[in-house]
Structure 1
C-alpha cells in the first residue's frame, strides 16, 4: 500500500512538472536591450523583442533610472518609452521594435557608470509571464567599435560580382 502511494505521488509530480514545462515552453519571451545601430554605427538604439513562440500582450518595460535620450528624435523616443512603461499592446513572436536613443558620443559623455535596471512584464496565453529584471550598463559601450556591419569593400565586391554576371549575359 505504501509503495503504491509513493508511485502515485511520483506520477502526479511528474504530470505536474510536465504541465508546468509545457506552459513555460508556450509563453512569450520578451526582452529589452540597448545596442549600436547596425545600419548607422554611431547611434544607440533601444530594442524590445519577443523570442518566444506566442504573442506577448500588455508588454510593459521600465528602466530605472530612465534611459538617456538626445538629438532631434528625443521627444519621439520619450513618447515610446512612456508607452512601453504604460503597456504596449502586443509583440508577435520573432518581432523586434526599435527606437533611436541618440548618438553614442552624446549619451556616453559622462565618465560615470550609467546603470539602468530593466524590468520586463508581459502577458501570454496562460496569463502573466514572470517578471524579467536585469541591468544594462551603458558605460559598457565606451571604447567599442562604432562601425556599421556593412563595408564599402563588401559593396564593391558585390558590384564586381553583378558586373561579371552581366558581362556573361552579353
Structure 2
C-alpha cells in the first residue's frame, strides 16, 4: 500500500470519526433538550393550580348533596369558568336549580389554593328516588401563573354516591336524630301540660257549679307534673 492510499485511508477514518462524534453529540444534545423540556414541564405543572368540580355529601354520611368547586393546586387559579352538560337539576325545584346553575357557571376571578366553594344541590334520598340525571359532563377552564391551562373535561357519575349515602354514622346525622328526639320529647311534655290544664279547668268548673251561693270556693292549686 503506497503512501497516497494510506493518507486517503487516514483521512476517511478521521472524517468518519468526526462524523460519528458529531452524530453522538447531536443526539446527546437532543436528549438533554428533551430532558430539560420534560423537567420544565413537570415544574410548571407542579406550580399550576388544579381546579376540579364534584358532587358530594356535605360531610361523610350526610344526606345533603353539594356541588363543590375546589382548587387543589399550590397556586392561585384565575378566571375559573365551568360548563356543565346537562344543566344541574334538583328535586328542590326548578327555581332552585336555575339559581344553582347560575352560581356554579359564572366566572370566578380568583380561587386561592385549597379553597372550596360549596353549593347546596339536593337531598340524597329524594334525588335517587327521582328520574333526574345521574351523569353530568363538566369542563373546567382556568388560568395559572403561566397563562391559560388546558381545559379539564370529565364525567361526574352520581351512582357512585348512591350507596355511600346509606351510611348515616356522622355528627350531622347524630345531631339530626337528637334534634328529632328532643322535638318529640318537647311535644309530649306540651301535650301532657295541656291535658293537666284541661283537667284543672274541669275540676274548677265542677266545684264552681256545686258551690252554694255566697260561699267562697276552696283554693285549688293546679297540679304540677
**Is TM > 0.5 for Structure 1 vs Structure 2?**
yes
Residue 36 of structure 2 is matched in structure 1 by 15
Return the alpha-carbon distance in structure 2 between the equivalents of residues 43 and 63 of structure 1: 20
Residue 80 of structure 2 is matched in structure 1 by 59
Residue 43 of structure 1 is matched in structure 2 by 64
For 1:115, which of 111, 126, 135 is the aligned residue?
135
Return the alpha-carbon distance in structure 2 between the equivalents of residues 58 and 83 of structure 1: 14
Question: Residue 141 and residue 4 in structure 1: after superposition, are their counterparts in 2 closer, same or farther (change >3 A)?
Answer: closer
1:59 and 1:84 in contact (8 A); partners too: no
2:89 and 2:133 in contact (8 A); partners too: no
Runs of 4+ in 1 over 6 A off after TM superposition: none
Question: Residue 35 and residue 122 in structure 1: after superposition, are their counterparts in 2 closer, same or farther (change >3 A)?
Answer: same
* 1:78 Cα deviation after fit: 3.5
1:38 and 1:148 in contact (8 A); partners too: no
1:73 and 1:102 in contact (8 A); partners too: no
Return the alpha-carbon distance in structure 2 between the equivalents of residues 60 and 105 of structure 1: 30
For 1:136, which of 156, 169, 172 is the aligned residue?
156
Question: Residue 123 and residue 83 in structure 1: after superposition, are their counterparts in 2 closer, same or farther (change >3 A)?
Answer: farther
1:105 aligns with 2:125: yes
Kindly indicate whether structure 1 or structure 2 has the higher relative contact order, using CA contacts under 8 Å at least 6 residues apart: 1
Question: Residue 56 and residue 13 in structure 1: after superposition, are their counterparts in 2 closer, same or farther (change >3 A)?
Answer: same
1:88 aligns with 2:105: no
Question: Residue 90 and residue 115 in structure 1: after superposition, are their counterparts in 2 closer, same or farther (change >3 A)?
Answer: same
* 1:119 Cα deviation after fit: 1.1
Question: Residue 83 and residue 58 in structure 1: after superposition, are their counterparts in 2 closer, same or farther (change >3 A)?
Answer: farther
Return the alpha-carbon distance in structure 1 between the equivalents of residues 130 and 93 of structure 2: 20
List runs of 5+ in structure 1 lacking aligned partners.
Answer: 154-170
Question: Residue 92 and residue 26 in structure 1: after superposition, are their counterparts in 2 closer, same or farther (change >3 A)?
Answer: same
Larger of the two Rg values belongs to structure? 2
Deviates more, 1:144-153 or 1:83-92: 144-153
List runs of 5+ in structure 2 lacking aligned partners.
Answer: 1-21, 176-225
Structure with greater helix share of residues: 2
Question: Residue 112 and residue 48 in structure 1: after superposition, are their counterparts in 2 closer, same or farther (change >3 A)?
Answer: closer
